[in-house]
């Protein structure tokens, strides 16, 4: 069971997404839907963001 994101983590994530110019929809079921991508679990989304940051 994953813990809810704390505010510090959320702010860091928000800054990363802004840097990458990504629009991400957070769903009530706890999934993430980046624009132009499929729905992802939190773990998949974390890996996806990390790979995008590495490619910047």
Residue 39, pLDDT score = 92
Residue 40 counted as domain residue: yes
Residue 46 counted as domain residue: yes
Residue 56 counted as domain residue: yes
Residue 3 counted as domain residue: no
Residue 30 counted as domain residue: yes
26 pLDDT tier (thresholds 50, 70, 90): confident
Residues 14-52 as b or e (16 or more Cβ within 10 Å = b): eeeeeeeeeebeeeeeeebebeeeeebeeeebeebbeee
Residue 28 counted as domain residue: yes
Residues 6-30, mean pLDDT to the nearest whole number: 75
Range of the domain at 39: 23-56
Residue 1, pLDDT score = 42
Residues 3-9, mean pLDDT to the nearest whole number: 66
Residue pLDDT, tens place only, 27-42: 888 888 888 889 999 8
Residue 7 counted as domain residue: no
The tally of domains found in the chain comes to: 1
């Amino acid at each position: 069971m994953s813990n809810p994101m704390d505010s510090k983590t959320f702010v860091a994530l928000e800054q990363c997404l802004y840097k990458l110019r990504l629009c991400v929809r957070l769903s009530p079921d706890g999934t993430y839907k980046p624009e132009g991508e499929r729905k992802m679990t939190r773990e998949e989304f974390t890996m996806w963001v990390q790979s995008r940051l590495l490619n910047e």
